[in-house]
Structure 1
Amino acid sequence: MTNTLIAPPRGFEISEFEARTEKLQARMAEQQIDAVFLTTEPEFRYFSGFKSQFWESPTRPWFLVVPASGKPIAVVPEIGAAGLHQTWIDDVRSWPSPRPEDDGISLLADTLAACATRHGRIGAMLGPETHLRMPAANFAALQDRLSQHVLVDVSLIIRELRSVKSEAEIAKIRFACEVTAAGFDYLLEHLRLGMTEREACKAMHLEMLRLGADACPYLISASGQGGYDNIIMGPTDRELGNGDVLIIDTGATFDGYFSDFDRNYAFGRGDALATRAYEAVYQSTEAGLSVAAPGRTTGEVWQAMWDVLEQAGALGNDVGRMGHGLGMQLTEWPSNVPDGNVVLKPGMILTLEPGMTFAPGKMMVHEENILITEEGCEMLHKRAWSELPVIS
């Protein structure tokens, strides 16, 4: 029987963009910030609704200015002006890009200066895990043109706003998760000894597209005898044989929102150490699920998961965190880290990603996607198998 999934509506109501902008402006007022300018695709899309594959090209910069009140102002290459006029944005200012000698910098500087006349403070994404998506020389030129103003970091404000999802955002992420979970189930029925990692990943990729995913920009795998020691590469043309364990870690998208989780498969026989490690990461996830709730912290979630892994004999965890935020990007703020102090709120979407080195050179990682609710948390997709599946 062919699986069918019902996709939620695409896009958002204008009221959603109005609410996002008003929340940012309220935070700006608290810090006496006159204007914020945004340069990266997720933030630009979050406040404008402008969704385009043209961001794949590094040639042209794009800017969105959020003033202290009123709608955002788009400062964009002429090639994008028509697309911006299809959004809720009214004020679209453009220049003939590419123009390396002044690729929108004077237009952006004039726009910001006109908005920042009260406090002289302008915000930008300047913190960890951010970038400005413009040449360094252009940023220096912008700073020079705005030398009478103070540039401040607003990355934490933006992250906090984006971390709590609306019902419409949750529906898109849930669908992306359901598609991915169904893809893993499909693979469980179609994996065979002798297949290559690449063949396995391609089969899953095609199934997720068939089920309704827009794309699968992130799909990696690793395999090895009784485990694996590198989970960020691949897939490769390595054939899967007796005693191998395969992990596939993937993120599918729907309407610009990601899923991100993985599953593990054993081939021919279940290695005893790998089987025990699988049981440990499964129980570690259970511990994370029991703790993830409003008022708890990311550090508490990490500790609950690590306690289980440590008791199971984990030799270490080398990835630095055990889960993260999820949404318009594959990985978002916050991270589940030791002593993490980010307080969980209803509407946050996180991954639980316990991982352990269970033998020298061998790892086991498990990842699920959850929504923080008023009462605790809920899975956004079908839970992983409680036992390590064996492909014969």
Structure 2
Amino acid sequence: MTDTPDRGFPESEFADRTAKAQTAMAGAGLAGLLLTTEAEVRYFSGFHTLFWQSPTRPWFLFVPASGKPVAIIPEIGADLMRRTWVDDIRTWSAPAPRDDGIGLLTDLLAPFARSGAAIGLMKGHETHLRMPLADFERLSAALPGLRMADATDLVRGLRIVKSDAEIAKIRHICGIGSRSFAEVPEVARAGMPLEEVFRAFRRAALALGADDVPYLVGGADRGGYHDVISPPSRRPLAKGDVLMLDTGATWDGYFCDFDRNWAIGTADDASRRAYDVLWRATEAGIAAARPGATCRDLFHRMQTVISELDAAGGDVGRLGHGLGMQLTEWPSHAAWDETVIEENMVLTIEPSLSYGDGRIMVHEENIVVRAGGAELLTERAAPDLPVI
């Protein structure tokens, strides 16, 4: 077991992230970034709370072209924000439907509007506004001279390459996830309802040190499973089932995201074959994950192996993605994604295929890309379908 990393980050981590953003802003002609979503606010401030689960209150962080970020947040978050490196914290008593921070935002941004400056917002794929559209329209109307540009690529370019401290946190939760999966054969058995397997896995992960297991999906059925996102049923596991669990456990705000497959009692030839193809497809994806390759390259390398069994090449849209503060992050291993792989990207390698009578199988590992190639963060799955 590796040493547990420190929680949080030193102030220098946030200063470095902000400085890189400001360099990119200068190149893009932006006077600042207006951030409204949890991951982006946390990335630049260190403000880490589960209170984002409540949709009642909006939260804002403004990263100027020079200087430290400015927080415009509900008063309930002021004490926690004061523990971060942010000094300028402006609050209101929320919820306040008539003015939920819009007045404070208007005051902050008015000088930029008067000068006709541009600020960046996240507008692109895999982003959302996380404030009422009516409030955004009010803000825009109050600042007619302000230009609002898409800063998705700018922020994406920062977040997809992880710092050493971020990688240490992801490595730690991947280790917890690996040890949790290792306990499944000691718990799961024929006759056990699938929902009880889920509960047992969550208990194991928490006992081993995970902060939370907000994402746990999977399936089990005779000779395979048919989808991987349904809630678990009370159907008991039976001999001949193939069981899959896919976890997104967290530690200090960072995710692991990988799965494991097992046969219950015995494995049929079709499932063994599917597992073998997926294991080798995963190997191909891991081998291809080197600086200078593209996500499209990884997709095609995995798809070539998958096509040995699945004529569609296992194309469910993508065969893996980025990983970090969110369960799924940019980029995507997909035919359309030409993102160039860089050192210190953390990625999932996630081939899948269809086989038999409507059955599917998915396999997934987590890696960090190093100068010489991929380094596993998860404990590699067995090369043959394990039988419980």
Query: 1:282-321 maps to which residues of 2 (within 5 A)?
Result: 282-321=279-318
Match of 1:269 among 246, 266, 269: 266
What do you get for the CA RMSD once the two structures are aligned? 1.3
Partner-residue secondary structure (3-state), 2:307: helix
Q: Identify if the C-alpha distance between structure 1 residues 153 and 83 changes in structure 2 by more than 3 Å, giving closer, same or farther.
A: same
Query: 1:228-377 maps to which residues of 2 (within 5 A)?
Result: 228-377=225-374
How far the C-alpha of 1:149 sits from its partner, in A, is 1.1
Q: Identify if the C-alpha distance between structure 1 residues 47 and 326 changes in structure 2 by more than 3 Å, giving closer, same or farther.
A: same
- Corresponding letter in the other structure for 2:131: M
How far the C-alpha of 1:118 sits from its partner, in A, is 5.3
Query: Runs of 5+ in structure 1 lacking a partner?
Result: none
Distance, in Å, in 2 between the alignment partners of 1:64 and 1:115 is 16
- TM-score normalized by the length of structure 2: 0.97
Distance, in Å, in 1 between the alignment partners of 2:362 and 2:40 is 30
Distance, in Å, in 2 between the alignment partners of 1:353 and 1:238 is 27
Query: 1:29-44 maps to which residues of 2 (within 5 A)?
Result: 29-44=26-41
How far the C-alpha of 1:319 sits from its partner, in A, is 2.2
2:298–2:333 CA contact under 8 A, matched in 1: yes
Distance, in Å, in 2 between the alignment partners of 1:313 and 1:131 is 35
2:198–2:216 CA contact under 8 A, matched in 1: yes
Partner-residue secondary structure (3-state), 2:355: strand
Distance, in Å, in 2 between the alignment partners of 1:24 and 1:214 is 30
Partner-residue secondary structure (3-state), 1:390: coil
How far the C-alpha of 1:115 sits from its partner, in A, is 4.8
Partner-residue secondary structure (3-state), 1:282: helix
Query: Runs of 5+ in structure 2 lacking a partner?
Result: none
Distance, in Å, in 2 between the alignment partners of 1:154 and 1:117 is 21
* Partner of residue 197, structure 2: 200
1:314–1:356 CA contact under 8 A, matched in 2: no
2:244–2:262 CA contact under 8 A, matched in 1: yes
- Corresponding letter in the other structure for 2:255: F
Match of 1:45 among 32, 37, 42: 42
* Partner of residue 143, structure 1: 140
Distance, in Å, in 1 between the alignment partners of 2:151 and 2:312 is 38
Segment drifting more, 348-357 vs 123-132: 123-132
Moved over 6 A (4+): none
* Partner of residue 155, structure 2: 158
2:41–2:60 CA contact under 8 A, matched in 1: yes
Query: 1:72-83 maps to which residues of 2 (within 5 A)?
Result: 72-83=69-80
1:181–1:381 CA contact under 8 A, matched in 2: yes
> Is 1:85 paired with 2:82?
yes
Superimposed CA distance per residue, residues 188-230 of structure 1 (whole angstroms, 9 cap, x where no aligned partner): 2222111111111111111111111000000012111111111
How far the C-alpha of 1:312 sits from its partner, in A, is 3.1
- Corresponding letter in the other structure for 1:267: I
1:112–1:122 CA contact under 8 A, matched in 2: no
* Partner of residue 12, structure 2: 15
How far the C-alpha of 1:6 sits from its partner, in A, is 3.3
How far the C-alpha of 1:313 sits from its partner, in A, is 3.8
* Partner of residue 209, structure 1: 206
- Corresponding letter in the other structure for 2:137: A
Segment drifting more, 203-212 vs 307-316: 307-316
Distance, in Å, in 1 between the alignment partners of 2:369 and 2:3 is 23
How far the C-alpha of 1:116 sits from its partner, in A, is 5.7
- Corresponding letter in the other structure for 2:174: C
* Partner of residue 99, structure 1: 96
2:113–2:147 CA contact under 8 A, matched in 1: no
Distance, in Å, in 1 between the alignment partners of 2:313 and 2:376 is 27
How far the C-alpha of 1:340 sits from its partner, in A, is 2.2
Q: Identify if the C-alpha distance between structure 1 residues 42 and 167 changes in structure 2 by more than 3 Å, giving closer, same or farther.
A: same
* Partner of residue 54, structure 1: 51
Q: Identify if the C-alpha distance between structure 1 residues 34 and 116 changes in structure 2 by more than 3 Å, giving closer, same or farther.
A: farther
Distance, in Å, in 1 between the alignment partners of 2:2 and 2:295 is 32
* Partner of residue 165, structure 2: 168
1:295–1:345 CA contact under 8 A, matched in 2: yes
Superimposed CA distance per residue, residues 77-111 of structure 1 (whole angstroms, 9 cap, x where no aligned partner): 11111211111001001111111011001211221
Distance, in Å, in 1 between the alignment partners of 2:142 and 2:166 is 38
1:300–1:339 CA contact under 8 A, matched in 2: no
- TM-score normalized by the length of structure 1: 0.96
Distance, in Å, in 1 between the alignment partners of 2:310 and 2:231 is 28
Tell me the matched-pair count: 388
- Corresponding letter in the other structure for 1:303: H
Segment drifting more, 96-105 vs 306-315: 306-315
Match of 2:120 among 123, 126, 134: 123
* Partner of residue 182, structure 1: 179
